[in-house]
Amino acid sequence: MALNSFTQFIFNLFIASAIIISAYTCNFYYLTYLSIKRKEILSTANVGTPSITIQLPIYNEKYVAKRLVDAVCMMDYPKEKMRIMVLDDSDDETADLLFDVVAKYKKQGFQIDHIRRGTRKGYKAGALKYAMQITDTEFVAIFDADFIPPNWFLKRAIPHFSKSNIGLVQCRWGHVNENYSAITQAQALSLDFHFLIEQKAKSNSNLFMNFNGTAGIWKCACIEDAGGWHTATLVEDLDLSYRAQMKGWKCVFLPDIVVDAELPVQMNAAKRQQFRWAKGSIQCAIKLLADIIIKRKVSVEAKIQAFVQLTRHIVYPLMLIQFLALPVLLASNMNLYLVSFIPALTIAAYLAMGPGAYIVIIQSMYHKSWKSKAKILPTLLVYNAGMSVNNSVAVFDAIFGKKNEFLRTPKYGIVNKEDNWRDKAYNLPFTKTTLLEIFFGIYGLMGILISIFSNNPVFAPIIGLQTIGFFYISYMSLSHTRFKRIKSGNIPVLTKTEKMAKRTYQLSMIGVVAIIIFGGFMAINGYHADVYPLDRIRGNLDGILGSADPVSIKTHLMAIKQDLAIVMEKLPESKNPVWVFPTESTSFLRIERDVDNMIANAETISGISEDNAAFQTGMTNIGERALAIRQNIMDATPYMFVSVSNIVFSTMWIAAILGIFAALKRKKDQLTAFDEATGI
C-alpha cells in the first residue's frame, strides 16, 4: 500500500519505537533469567567489628529524623567502633529537633555528631563529600531519613566484605507502609522488581550494579579510589558505584537483609522522586558511557547492560511517541496487526509480552504469596503508563542540560493506614507537567474513538490503559495538592490569606474539571464532525470495490457525495485540509469532481448488459477511481486533526489551563511572602 510521506514518517517512528521498547523489555526478561538461574552463594567471613561511620544525610525531615537516629543508636554494635554523623542541612525546625536528639545520645556515650555545613552546596552528594573529609573509619554506612535500619543490621551486613575487592554491599529495601494506598502498593511492587530481579541478577554476575543511595555499606578505600562523591548529577549513588566498578571493585546485593523504609504517599512527592531518578540516570549515561565503552577490562556484556541501565528511561518518551502515533495510523487505515487476518493475535502478543510475562516473574519472586502481589499488577501498569509524561520531561531535561536542583522527596512518618499526611508541612503542589498529563488523557479518549470507528477495536484497550494512567496521575496530582495550615493547639486555624488561597484552589479545581469535560466533549464532537465522515466515505468506497451492481454503486456514491459536502463546509476556500504545502491529491474539490464522474459512469453502464465489453470497461474504470479516491482520503485524514480551527481551539484550551496554573502560582507566591513576613 502506498503511503504519503507524512504517514510513512509516523509509521516508521511507531515501528522504531516499538522495536526499541521491545528490546528493553526483553532485556528485563533476560535479567529475570539471570536472577533465577545464576544463584551466587554469598560468602561471609569473620571480620570482627571493624570501625564504621554511619552517615545520615538529612534536609527538612522533622517527621522522620528522630525515628532514624533512634534506630541507628539502637544498633547492636560496640559504641567505640561506631561513629554517627548526622549530616543536617535543614533550614526548618528539624535542626533544633536533631540538636536535642544528638545531645541526648551524646550523654549516653555514643560517638554522634550533629554536623551543620551552613550551606546546601552539592545537596546530598555535597553533604556526603564533606563528611568523607572528616571520616577516619574503615567503612561507611548510609541511611536516608525515611529508613528504619534493624538493630542487627551491621552484624549481618559487614561479614559480607569477605573478599578484598568488595567495595559495597547493598541491602534490599523493605516497605513499612506498603499497604497504605494503591500508590504505595504500586511503588513497592516496582521496587521489588528492581531489587529482586535487576540487582540480584547483576550481583550474581559480572554486570555493573548500582548503589541505591541508602541502606548500604561502603569500604572507605573504595570511595577514595573511585574519586569520591561527585555533585554533577542528581544520582550521586549511581555515579559513584559505576566509577567504583570501572576501577575493579565488586558491588554485592544482599536480598535477605531488608531495611524498611517509608514510601511516598503523596502523588506529587512520588512524581518528584521518579523525576530525579529518570533525569539522573540520563545524566550518568552522558557522563560515564563513553568511558565504560572504551574500558578494556569491562566485558562486552557488562558494557551492554550498563548502556541499557543508564538509558532505560528513554522508554518513556518512546511510549509517548507510540501513544501519539497510533491514532494517526489507525485513522489512516494502516494495518498494524501482527497477522492481518487474525487481529486477536495482536492483543495476545501485547498480553504475553507485558502482563502475562510479569505474572510469571511475580510467581518466581514471591512464591506462595504471589497471588496477592499479582492483584497489584494492573495498578502498577496504570501507574507506570501515567508516569511516562513526568519521566519523559525528566529525560529531556537531562538531554538538554537543564540546570540540576536536587529536590528531596518529602516524608511524613506515615506507617499505618490511619496516619494522615494532608495537614502536614512539606506538601507539594501539582506542577505544569499535570497539564501535559491532562492533554494526553484527552488525546487518548480521541484515540479510543478512532480505534473503534476505524474498525480496529483491538487497539482500544491498549490506548485505554495509558489514557487511564494519564487521568489517574493527573487527578491524584490535583487532589493531593494542599495549602499549608497553621495549627494553634490541636485545632487547625486558617488565616485570611490561607482562606483566600484555599478558595482560589477550590475554584481552580472546578475550572480545571470543567475545562477537561468541555475539551473532551469538543474532541468527541470534532471527531464526529470532521473525521468520522471520512471513515464513512472509506466504508462506502469499500462497498463500491466489492460490488458489481451499478445501482448499488450509485447509492454508495451518493452517500459519499453527502459526506463530502459535510466535510467541505468546514474547510477553507481551497477545500484542502493540507494548509501547509497542499497537494492536488488531497483537494476535496477534485475528489468531488471524480465522484460526480463516477456517478455519471454508473448511470451510463446501468443500462448496458453485463456481457457487453463497455460494461466491463466502465466497472474497471469505477474500481480504479474508487481505489485512487480511497488513498486520497487516507492521505487527507491525518491533516483533519491539525486543521487551523483545531489548532486555534487547542491553543485556547491550553491557554485556559495555563491561566488557572498562573492564578494558583500567584496565590502560592502570596502564601510564601506571607510566611516570610510573619516568620512562620
Q: Is position 88 annotated as part of the catalytic site?
A: no
Amino acid letter, 206: N
Sheet of strand 166-175: strand arrangement: 111-115, 82-88, 52-58, 139-142, 216-219, 166-175, 250-261, 147-148
| DSSP collapsed to 3 states, 242-280 | HHHHHCCCEEEEEEEEEEEECCCCCHHHHHHHHHHHHHH
Residue burial 79-91, b: 16+ Cβ < 10 Å; e: rest? eebbbbbbbbbbe
| DSSP collapsed to 3 states, 212-241 | CCCCEEEEHHHHHHCCCCCCCCCCHHHHHH
- Phi, psi for residue 505 in degrees, rounded to 5: -60, -45
Out of 89, 144, 535, 563, pick the active-site residue.
89
Pairing of strands 82-88, 52-58: parallel
CA pair distance 144, 413, nearest whole angstrom:
13
Compute how many other C-beta atoms are within 10 angstroms of the C-beta atom of residue 616. Answer: 14
Q: Is position 89 annotated as part of the catalytic site?
A: yes
- Closest by CA to 140, choosing from 161, 122, 123, is 161
CA pair distance 244, 57, nearest whole angstrom:
21
Pairing of strands 147-148, 250-261: antiparallel
Out of 192, 237, 239, 260, pick the active-site residue.
237
**Which H or E element spans position 187?**
helix 182-193
Which residues lie below 8 Å from residue 605, measured CB to CB, with a gap of 6+?
550, 614, 615, 618, 619
**Residue 53, beta-bridge partner list:** 83, 140
Kindly write down the DSSP assignment for every residue of 309-370, as one continuous string: HHHGGGHHHHHHHHHHHHHHHHHTT----SSTT-THHHHHHHHIIIIIHHHHHHHHHHGGGH
Tell me which residues are annotated as active site: 89, 237
